[in-house]
């Protein structure tokens, strides 16, 4: 079975990570993912995709060249793909959906977000969201909140942002290697963040948290895994707040798992999220997780995951960090055996694909619209 995946980018973000986790698991069950590069500037995990037997089709940027991109996408779909899986951060641009429908497919639309930025994008999302309520599609979401945001009252199915629990287990050796590489003392409290450095993730608030913790006399540092348009702004803010020697920027990493073992506390002060896979990874590593209260409670599987406000100063975050870091060192994998364990969730997605294949790309059920 071949599934055409649309909506991934060159960044190793939550969508890319989640889809690749399912690809690895489903490859052993006879399912192969092929991918469409709709932005025309490459895909994350491209080498691994090809190693797993997947094909990558490259389009001109579909936002800049919509007509040519749509023609090319229709041709790809018509070449033999009954199952088209479109991963969406908003409904602002429905070109992939329209291309699939023109070729007679009932596409899967998968909601991965609970908000968007910019007046034009918000306006288009609102208009197109209404159109999708009447559309012939399979509705999936990473969380109940993300599903409601894109599909309103129409029924949808939640496919968890599952992770490979073995991969994200805590390892003392990884902790020693990473901390040694970046000259982080065993006595240093290491705060960690993983994600795109953009406004949605609220990365400047990480500096507020670090400053508040440091002002309590704690030897603390912040390690930032990821990159994005705010990277330079964060660096300048760190300099202005005399925190530059306490912030470690490591950029995008091919292997993120060892960095979790090096951390002592995981931070995610996002303005909005669908369901952040990094929070699941951190809980699989047994880390205390401090999360923005704008994130859905569905993400919690650990008794050491907490929601805090991102309004005002960061004193409450600093207090919680001090409290959690004083507790005995114990890194329990809270994800294993839950719906966020890929071993438990891969079969659910395969069953959805199988339903489409058996119906020749036209699957419709009362539950999926």
111's enclosing H/E stretch is strand 108-111
Sketch out the chain's domains with CATH numbers: 2-162+341-358 (3.40.50.2000), 172-325 (3.40.50.2000)
Sign of CA dihedral 232, 233, 238, 239: positive
Residue 33 CB-density burial (10 A; 0-12 exposed, 13-18 middle, 19+ buried):
buried
Chain centre distance of CA 135: 26
Q: Find tokens 């599987």 and name the residue.
A: 301
Say how far apart CA 351 and CA 258 lie, in whole Å: 33
Phi first, then psi, for residue 91 (nearest 5°) are: -100, 20
Contact 261, 171 (CB under 8 A): yes
Cβ within 8 Å of residue 55, ≥6 positions away? 34, 35
Say how far apart CA 262 and CA 260 lie, in whole Å: 5
Picking from 283, 266, 257, the residue whose alpha carbon sits closest to that of residue 336 is 283
Provide the pLDDT for residue 303: 94
pLDDT in tens, the chain (369 residues): 999 999 999 988 889 999 999 999 999 999 999 999 999 999 999 999 999 999 999 999 999 999 999 999 999 999 999 999 999 999 999 999 999 999 999 999 999 998 998 899 999 999 999 988 889 999 999 999 999 999 999 999 999 999 999 999 999 999 999 999 999 999 999 999 999 999 999 999 999 999 999 999 999 999 999 999 999 999 999 999 999 999 999 999 989 999 999 999 999 999 999 899 999 999 999 999 999 999 999 999 999 999 999 998 899 999 999 999 998 878 899 999 999 999 999 999 999 999 876 565 554 433 444
pTM exceeds 0.75 for this model: yes
Phi first, then psi, for residue 82 (nearest 5°) are: -85, -25
Hey, what are 234's tokens? 């964060």
Provide the pLDDT for residue 329: 76
* DSSP bridge partners of 85: 5, 108
Helix (H, G, I), strand (E, B) or coil at 341: strand
Provide the pLDDT for residue 361: 58
Contact 248, 225 (CB under 8 A): no
């Amino acid at each position: 079975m071949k599934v055409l995946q649309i909506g991934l980018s060159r960044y190793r973000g939550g969508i890319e990570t989640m889809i690749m986790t399912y690809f690895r698991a489903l490859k052993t069950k006879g399912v192969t993912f092929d991918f469409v590069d709709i932005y025309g500037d490459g895909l994350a995990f491209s080498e691994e995709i090809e190693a797993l037997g997947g094909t990558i089709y490259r389009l001109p940027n579909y936002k800049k060249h919509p007509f040519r991109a749509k023609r090319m996408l229709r041709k790809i779909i018509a070449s033999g793909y009954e199952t088209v899986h479109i991963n969406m951060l908003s409904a602002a641009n429905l070109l992939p959906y329209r291309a699939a429908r023109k070729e007679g497919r009932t596409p899967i639309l998968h909601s991965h977000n609970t908000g968007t930025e910019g007046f034009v994008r918000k306006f288009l999302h609102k208009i197109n969201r209404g159109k999708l309520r009447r559309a012939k599609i399979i509705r999936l979401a990473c969380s109940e909140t993300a599903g409601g945001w894109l599909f309103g009252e129409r029924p949808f199915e939640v496919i968890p942002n599952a992770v490979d629990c073995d991969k994200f287990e805590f390892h003392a050796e990884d902790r020693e290697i990473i901390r040694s590489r970046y000259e982080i003392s065993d006595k240093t409290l290491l705060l960690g963040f993983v994600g795109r450095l953009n406004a949605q993730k609220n990365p400047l608030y990480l500096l507020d948290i670090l400053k508040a913790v440091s002002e309590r006399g704690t030897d603390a540092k912040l390690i930032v895994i990821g990159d994005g348009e705010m990277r330079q702004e964060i660096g300048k803010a760190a300099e202005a707040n005399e925190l530059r020697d306490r912030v470690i920027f490591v950029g995008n990493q091919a292997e993120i798992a060892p960095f979790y073992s090096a951390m002592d506390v995981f931070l995610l002060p996002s303005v909005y999220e669908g369901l952040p896979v990094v929070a699941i990874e951190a809980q699989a590593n047994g880390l205390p997780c401090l999360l923005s209260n704008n994130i859905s409670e569905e993400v919690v599987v650990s008794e050491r995951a907490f929601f805090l406000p991102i309004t005002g100063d960061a004193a409450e975050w600093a207090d919680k960090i001090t409290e959690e870091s004083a507790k005995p060192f114990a890194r329990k994998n809270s994800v294993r055996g839950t719906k966020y364990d890929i071993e438990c969730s891969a079969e659910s997605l395969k069953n959805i694909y199988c339903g489409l294949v058996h119906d020749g790309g036209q699957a419709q059920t009362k539950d999926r619209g």
